Amino acid sequence: MKTYFSAGNKTLSALLVSAGFLFAQAPLGLAPAHAAAASVAGLPDFTDMVDKVGPAVVNIRTTERLKGREPGGDEDEMQEFFRRFFGGQMPTPRRDGQTPRGNNRRGAPQEQEVQRGIGSGFITSADGYVLTNAHVVAGADEVYVTLTDKREFKAKVLGADARTDVALLKIDGSRLPVISMGDSNKIRVGEWVIAIGSPFNLENTVTAGIISAKARDTGEFLPLIQSDVAVNPGNSGGPLINMRGEVIGINSQIATLSGAYNGISFAVPIDEAMRVADQLKKSGKVTRGRIGVEITELSRDVAETLGLKEGRGAEVARVEEDSPAAKAGVRAGDIVTKFNGTEIAKSADLPRLVGNTAPNTRATITVWRAGKSVDLPVTIAELESDTPAKGGRGPNGSKPKAEAAVNALGLKVSDLPAADRKELGVAGGVKVDAAEGVAGGAGVEEGDVLLQLNNSPITDAKQFNALVSKLDPKKNAVLLVRRGERSAFLTVRPAPVPAPK
């Protein structure tokens, strides 16, 4: 299983040798220069590009202020010993070897600035705007930006967005080196890219590789660029650069089992990062839209059974009460196929499209319901928090007891009381009293509520059993199951009903 870690916000040992790194000298007797040049014919040469863009890549150092005692620790106990037996304080030597004339009184709280982490960034404007990762500056009291010419600036964090892992900093400077922005929509799998940053606090380290994938769904509100460029702790926030010397991403994550580079790294697409940076520059925060639905990935089996040949869309598992989606008429079990005319290829597309829509904007959601496409007008609300939607199980969380099946799906059902329908906000449905056979094997449990069979809404137990009796045992059927506050489609294949003896 892949484990994702941020690519660098923790300071390592100041001496790499003490951390187990080994350095070896190059062997003597190297081949002549012309022979070396011939051996690399046809490979990309990054030298001129690095000379051009390198000065715009910065090292970012973060600190935090801690309150302690002076001189502190075991030294405080020695001070107390000298006070009691010799009537004074133990002299504290200075770094220059001299003895100070006085010390702070014992126990006086002292504020110390200690280093917290190391990261990277890059300058986007000559007047000092700097892009980096949100996790690089998270929790820092002070942020320092160091250029390749060793100039150091104290930076102001204008804003940070944890959802996209983008932060915008400002330093007081002019005529600073700037790196050009590229177009992350035009990148191609297999093209050469480089990363420049400060892995393990080794400033302006250059690594190279290729783009492995253009849109990996590891982020909530954006797909990430995958590459095999070496990225390690300290590279976070640095640029991913194409062969034209343009930034196409911000190095953000690695997939690793060891905590260090394992051949897979991820970058925030620069187009998305700049949209976030523009909002951070204007207001210090990012405003996103929401409609109030919980969605799941639509499986191919479910899509085919419901009549969606292409298998595209996002399955609505739950609709929040009094949310924009609820007011628009979106229901659990709907398949969202379009948002404002843009097709939803996979479930991750919907929150990104909605999130990029300004609050109070009117939009149109297209859903597939009961074999038909329905357009629903919705007014977008503002996303305020990152609180996940609540889930839940039915009233009985244990496996159902085996009972006699009453239909080809292995289900025994009863009418859903009017009070339960009102509480759940549904017009019909049946309650599962027992589940075995193919339905039990598919995951249906006692206490579940069944709302739909294929494209037909379920009204009561009699109608449901009649629908089941007409199912083709050679074809899959799809049940829309409500459990607690969530709904999901389950695929089942009816068992042939044996002929009476």
Tell me the catalytic residues.
Answer: 135, 165, 236
Contact 137, 157 (CB under 8 A): yes
* Dist CA 137 CA 257 (whole Å): 24
Q: φ and ψ at 99, to 5 degrees? A: -100, 125
* Dist CA 60 CA 463 (whole Å): 66
- Who contacts 399 (Cβ-Cβ below 8 Å, separation ≥6)? 445
* Dist CA 434 CA 223 (whole Å): 42
* Dist CA 319 CA 424 (whole Å): 11
* Dist CA 46 CA 241 (whole Å): 11
* Dist CA 338 CA 326 (whole Å): 17
Distance of CA 67 to the CA centre of its chain: 34
34 labeled binding residue:
no
**C-alpha count within 13 angstroms, C-beta hemisphere, residue 414:** 7
* Dist CA 487 CA 267 (whole Å): 34
CA angle, residues 163, 165, 167, in degrees to nearest 5:
120
> Long-range pairs for 488-491 at CB < 8 Å and ≥24 separation?
488/296, 488/315, 488/317, 489/299, 489/302, 489/306, 489/315, 489/333, 490/439, 490/442, 490/443, 490/444, 491/299, 491/301, 491/302, 491/305, 491/442
235 labeled binding residue:
yes
- Who contacts 82 (Cβ-Cβ below 8 Å, separation ≥6)? 88, 89, 90
87 labeled binding residue:
no
| Residue 175 exposed, middle or buried by CB count within 10 Å (0-12, 13-18, 19+) | exposed
Contact 482, 429 (CB under 8 A): yes
234 labeled binding residue:
yes
Peptide bond into 473 cis (omega under 30): no
Q: φ and ψ at 491, to 5 degrees? A: -95, 130
Contact 227, 263 (CB under 8 A): no
107 labeled binding residue:
no
Tell me the binding residues. 135, 165, 234-236
Tell me the binding residues for substrate. 135, 165, 234-236
